Structure 1
């Protein structure tokens, strides 16, 4: 009881500090035993921006944050450090026990927080989903079906949408379930059904992220032990999410028994057919793929449409490319048309530079190490590369980093008379990670986003009604408070045609 009383008193103090004005970009002062817990708590609601400000002010783009009880966390926005972490000394930087304790209840042993053999097995099986044949099928059947049968009719029927982000999440959720599990959740319907699963998934994601970033982890651990507050809700949410995952697995197993050979083999079928019949492990994979396929892609599209609404010149260039591609006789298939949308691809890259779907990624050192700039890393320390800060670094992108300028990704091909895409190395632009854990679904994500952009913008304008949205920093970067928009039909609003 004494321990609980002390925890409650400390929590009250932290709540008081959280209401005070956020600190400056200076590296926070550490105190004995508790480290910089006061500064961490004070900046809880702007954690991503606070850490980014410190990194921008750091000459080496790296600093060490002191956490409670002697724990340390290194933050970096240096491409050289990112390459060292993700490639040069890859075996040293693992997911680690801290992440597994915080996210393990929700993600289990899924590909996002697994190591060694479990990770390799999932990556090997998953890689088959991303060959050219499956990518073509994804764009021309799954995405196109969801686009023309559900998304576009919904936009045509509504002039105002209270939360376009929610619509995009529903769209990507249906898509990932169809392509990866052969299951249609029918989440994007005209009635916009509120399902317990979607609410539970959002709550589990948010609470698990709060666990991982907690200034004082003993709080959530005590609440978990006593099954109180957010930890009680997390337990309920995980039960709901895993309940649906198990139903998907059961249906798929029955389908595999009934049809010895399937015309179309999805990820889940391939996984279950490869001898991995453990339902909990299969559920882990389902949850990880939903997190990757729903939240990250929908987040990128949300910020893309918001930026386009505020940058009519870029919108004009994107629409011009869409029209030229769709009218060209050189493209007989949607897949080829979408694949060659160079300017739109650049605009999406520029969006994710400023608003990355995953703002920060964290590893844990398995051994002592030294980063390229000389920063010492001790065994057990957490090391995070700050993707959001890197996208806003004038050291990397120059003094015009704040401008939304897709042309920074393009070069003019004189011989061809058209734009040519010029990518950055993945250590400078680690939106899709890099090294051995480079995102397998990168091309699939771009194809889906470009097809959605082309389908929507050819017929509609999406006009934002929010001036300064807040970038949320949980596991993914959703727009806090949603994304209200108005929809204009280009054919009935001639002035909107570019």
Structure 2
């Protein structure tokens, strides 16, 4: 009986889906700054999809109209997203009661190809364990001093000269691009011991940076913008469109990471050999 009902309801829903989308777009154009309506099964996915190219400005407008600067958007099925510009709410979620706000299966599945099962993509005991391990490293004085040195060097040798030159010659800069380059250089030097020189005066294109920015960040985010999660899963299965580009980008990042690891292993091996030689002759 249940199977028969599903066979009848699914075609009806698929026929009504374009109509619901059309109705939403018309109603959405009249009240752009208000929280969008939530529809059965798909929630507010139509709104999120229609504003996917300017999602952050659209959400900012809605938050500004919200008395609490916090809204909840319902996605497809039983998934919900909370957006907040209220510092007290952000502190409550990310600090005071962080264990109560897991990332959830939907977010974890969407980011697994890129983040795997690392600290940024797990909940519960796995997160606690990884946090305990990493906290010991980040609390060491030597690491904090190293981070300070790296950031200071990037500021004085690259960021400040570029900004000073632009001010002197009246050059227009894409400040978001400049800050992304600044952050990318720092992260690579701190995490990998590798300097991509992405913030050099010529502002070069770097294969690894493009893999992070255009590949992983953009195409992983597109999974959240899909009307239904099954859409990106089908693309992944068929290895087409954004999923194909995501796979290539992730492959490039993993290849880079493995090269760095192998180089560090070789360096340690050479140091150990030299140390054993010196001790042997002593």
**TM-score normalised according to structure 2 size:** 0.72
- Which structure is higher in RCO with an 8 Å CA cutoff and minimum separation 6? 1
Q: Say which SS state the counterpart of residue 42 (structure 2) adopts.
A: coil
The answer for the alignment partner of 2:143 in structure 1 is: 134
Q: How does 1:263-274 map to 2 (within 5 A)?
A: none
Q: Say which SS state the counterpart of residue 112 (structure 1) adopts.
A: helix
CA distance in 2, matches of 1:30, 1:157: 50
| C-alpha displacement of 1:201 | 0.8
Q: Identify if the C-alpha distance between structure 1 residues 188 and 71 changes in structure 2 by more than 3 Å, giving closer, same or farther.
A: closer
| Alignment coverage as a number of residue pairs | 253
Q: Does 1:23 align with 2:31?
A: yes
| C-alpha displacement of 1:99 | 1.0
Measured against aligned partners, the alpha-carbon deviations of 1:34-93 in whole angstroms (never above 9, x if no partner) come to 323332223323333433444444445544433223434444555665455445544332
Q: Identify if the C-alpha distance between structure 1 residues 93 and 255 changes in structure 2 by more than 3 Å, giving closer, same or farther.
A: same
Unaligned 5+ segments in structure 2 are 1-10, 273-282
Q: Match for 2:198 among 180, 187, 190?
A: 187
CA distance in 1, matches of 2:173, 2:212: 21
| C-alpha displacement of 1:95 | 1.6
Measured against aligned partners, the alpha-carbon deviations of 1:224-279 in whole angstroms (never above 9, x if no partner) come to 1211111111111111111111111111222223335xxxxxxxxxxxxxxxxxxx
The answer for the alignment partner of 2:102 in structure 1 is: 94
Q: Does 1:249 align with 2:261?
A: yes
Q: How does 1:60-79 map to 2 (within 5 A)?
A: 60-77=68-85
Q: Say which SS state the counterpart of residue 65 (structure 1) adopts.
A: strand
CA distance in 1, matches of 2:219, 2:164: 36
Counterpart contact for 2:184–2:209, Cα < 8 Å:
no
Q: How does 1:214-225 map to 2 (within 5 A)?
A: 214-225=226-237
Counterpart contact for 1:22–1:43, Cα < 8 Å:
no
Q: Does 1:240 align with 2:252?
A: yes
CA distance in 1, matches of 2:206, 2:86: 42
Structure with max Cα Rg: 2
CA distance in 2, matches of 1:131, 1:227: 44
CA distance in 1, matches of 2:46, 2:142: 53
Q: Say which SS state the counterpart of residue 48 (structure 2) adopts.
A: helix
Larger CA deviation: 141-150 vs 97-106: 141-150
CA distance in 1, matches of 2:178, 2:86: 36
CA RMSD of aligned residues (A): 3.6
Q: How does 1:35-434 map to 2 (within 5 A)?
A: 35-77=43-85, 81-82=89-90, 84-87=92-95, 89-127=97-135, 128-139=137-148, 141-154=149-162, 159=169, 160=171, 162-203=173-214, 204-260=216-272
CA distance in 1, matches of 2:199, 2:205: 10
Unaligned 5+ segments in structure 1 are 261-498
Structure with greater helix percent: 2
CA distance in 1, matches of 2:159, 2:93: 40
